[in-house]
A and B are shown apart, each in its own frame.
Chain A
């Protein structure tokens, strides 16, 4: 009862049957042999809208998302989601990190704040109620320190038997800095160099014990960090926790190509497979420069899925969900973000303001630039003029659409096709406030993916690296 769970690997365990570095993954589908798809669930903020955990339900009964009495921080919400993801044989569950509450013009934005528990603490608890699911924590490279974070990630990897992942974020917000010792903001170039050096330093710490379990001192001296000492944990069951990076920018792609195992792409917010293919090819091309093969970095695209019994019903539901997301208050806030002034006196069902956006001195570097805001405002005004839209209708129309809307059959086909055509290696699902949430996907789409041979029918290995088909990193002594 109380011993280690069966199937958990010992430190130093390697997973057989997975490609080694430099061994190219098949790029094109041949009949009967499909490149395996990877799936993850992300409990997170999407475009500033934090997904409410209380609406991630296991039942399929429609309830008002606001009627729940359970606190969003209650462990039961996370446990339900993790169990569902594991039932669906997902590669991993990704949790976000909260560093400060979202604000707008110096005030807490109240419509979309539900609170974010500390992700590593939640994931260690989830390791107890799951056996195979990968556990990915977001942690910001700007507001953590390599020794502390590397130690906590290695701990999660040990305590979960090799299921830990780190989603490396880089923020540079001066307001976030007000909650931390280092304070202030870091400019764009610096935050990337800091994050790159952070990952390198963490890898040195993870490599500091020999594979046979002898601790050795480490020293890292660089532009951002000057640390030395002895790490307190042996080498991780996975060698290193899986490193995840999100971002479509030039810097983001290069960072991922040089040092990440998984790249999360937002490319598909609008559901354009061609953009996905171009992005995929571009990122995979960059790997060779770092002596890595195309299989060494998995590209997973964000996917918002809406299902229906018919295509028409799915589209109707997708609209309904988007209207829920664009509440009258959210619409005004979206507008305020562009105009930079208090618009709370405006009628969300009335016309757009006729004044121009105001430069906001509180918006430091790293926030939307004034010129961009003027351009967006002009675009939105044109849209509203052309089609006679109110504020709320304009925000609704200008906003991103769900990427996969349709029947379970059509969505499964589209997902499988996207992987087969090299537009992605997999998808990160964002459960939305909708009946069923992740359960509906797991119950209705996963079996169809499995029938097509596009997705695993059982976990083959015990570690997250095994699920992802990633080799254990070579020990650099």
Chain B
């Protein structure tokens, strides 16, 4: 084990970046961006998706990225609204296998009538109902990941069996919109449960975030609001019987680093990120962004940041080589990956298997 770097007295800072690029269908751009983010030792990259969103399937993009990277976490958005929970959990588990424990899943819903028409199976539904279904999908996914106990794939030469049937479990889940019998079709993922991420900015998403998410995004330009959201999420997680320290709350900002080293209108001190119709936007230089991150983190506002470059090619490079390297220089952010899985990067333990516990209790 490598000793943890000296993050003196403060919680560890977590940083993530969005890889999204409009109208890019070629793998090369995504590979280059992910490698750049990995050079900055970021916790993870995200690829956003939506059924009606122009661009390739996000989980596929990050699967393509996986063999070209070694340590960085890979978190695609996969909607739970018109998709099959069984397929979704299998794809996320497979991403965890092929990346050797670096997969995450950003849970989203698809609320528009246009998205409903793409499937033609049911009409659009209100956000509350969709998030209830998303919570059920998050729940059933974890059950399916657990439906093969660790070590279920024995190789028992004496009996010729390849799996130990006693370590496979039905999930027999019935929710408001679907049911799944189980077990899954592949072994428990390397991380036990791939990391689940929810953007909890919108109210209806918050209960799912508090109950099932490992990483929660909060979009706000105001540190006080971010701190408040974090406190509320932690309290709500505790109410669900979770340890609030198992939750990482990241502030999500769009970043436009086109203005040189320092912002013309300083990003920090000059009001910080600005609210815009598309969400909070930080516009300024990489150094000022480092100042802002340092300040928010010092005050315990959030556990880290998820940053979405406005101009992907330019801003990601400035983010990694400017902002991140300055944070590393100050000893605020890791310079290498001490662990190998996304859970390692996030300081999250590998979860216990809910069925293994039941089996032990019963015997």
Say whether A111 faces chain B, with CB atoms less than 8 Å apart. yes
> Least Cβ distance of A209 to chain B in Å?
11
Q: Which of A79, A113, A116 contacts B162 (CB 8 A)?
A: A113
Say whether A271 faces chain B, with CB atoms less than 8 Å apart. no
Determine if A233 and B25 form an interchain contact, defined as CB atoms under 8 angstroms apart.
yes
B60: chain A residues at CB < 8 Å are 120-121, 124, 152, 155-156, 159
Q: Which of B27, B59, B163, B165 contacts A128 (CB 8 A)?
A: B27
* B76 to A, closest residue via Cβ: A121
Q: In the complex, A4 Cα to B85 Cα: how many Å? A: 33
Known: A114-B153, A121-B59. Is A2-B160 also a contact (CB below 8 A)? Answer: no
Q: In the complex, A105 Cα to B120 Cα: how many Å? A: 36
Determine if A147 and B31 form an interchain contact, defined as CB atoms under 8 angstroms apart.
no
* B34 to A, closest residue via Cβ: A2
Number of interface residues of A (CB under 8 A): 75
Determine if B54 and A227 form an interchain contact, defined as CB atoms under 8 angstroms apart.
no
Say whether A234 faces chain B, with CB atoms less than 8 Å apart. yes
Q: In the complex, A144 Cα to B84 Cα: how many Å? A: 8
CB neighbors of B among A88-105 (8 A): 98-101
Say whether B330 faces chain A, with CB atoms less than 8 Å apart. no
Question: Per-position contact with A for B96-133: 1 when CB-CB < 8 Å, else 0?
Answer: 01111000000000000011011111000000000000
Q: In the complex, A115 Cα to B150 Cα: how many Å? A: 13
B177: chain A residues at CB < 8 Å are 181
Known: A3-B28, A108-B165. Is A181-B120 also a contact (CB below 8 A)? Answer: no
Determine if A118 and B94 form an interchain contact, defined as CB atoms under 8 angstroms apart.
yes
Determine if B25 and A158 form an interchain contact, defined as CB atoms under 8 angstroms apart.
yes
Q: In the complex, A444 Cα to B95 Cα: how many Å? A: 34
Question: Per-position contact with B for A344-362: 1 when CB-CB < 8 Å, else 0?
Answer: 0000000000000000000
A147: chain B residues at CB < 8 Å are 51, 118-119
B59: chain A residues at CB < 8 Å are 121
- The number of chain B residues touching the other chain, given as a range, is 35 or more
A79: chain B residues at CB < 8 Å are 67
Say whether A14 faces chain B, with CB atoms less than 8 Å apart. no
Known: A71-B187, A179-B181. Is A152-B162 also a contact (CB below 8 A)? Answer: no
Determine if A100 and B185 form an interchain contact, defined as CB atoms under 8 angstroms apart.
yes
CB neighbors of A among B312-328 (8 A): none
Say whether B63 faces chain A, with CB atoms less than 8 Å apart. yes
> Least Cβ distance of A335 to chain B in Å?
16
Question: Per-position contact with A for B13-33: 1 when CB-CB < 8 Å, else 0?
Answer: 000000000000111100110
Q: Which of A67, A108, A175, A179 contacts B180 (CB 8 A)?
A: A179
Q: Which residue numbers of A lie inside 8 Å of B, CB to CB?
A: 2-5, 11, 52, 64-68, 71-75, 78-79, 98-101, 107-108, 110-118, 120-122, 124-125, 127-129, 143-145, 147-148, 151-152, 154-156, 158-161, 175, 178-181, 183, 215, 225-230, 232-234, 327-330
Q: Which residue numbers of B lie inside 8 Å of A, CB to CB?
A: 25-28, 31-32, 35, 51-57, 59-61, 63-68, 82-87, 90-91, 93-95, 97-100, 114-115, 117-121, 148, 153, 155-157, 159-165, 168, 177-183, 185-187
Q: Which 4 A-B pairs have the closest CB atoms?
A: A98-B185, A2-B32, A66-B155, A124-B63
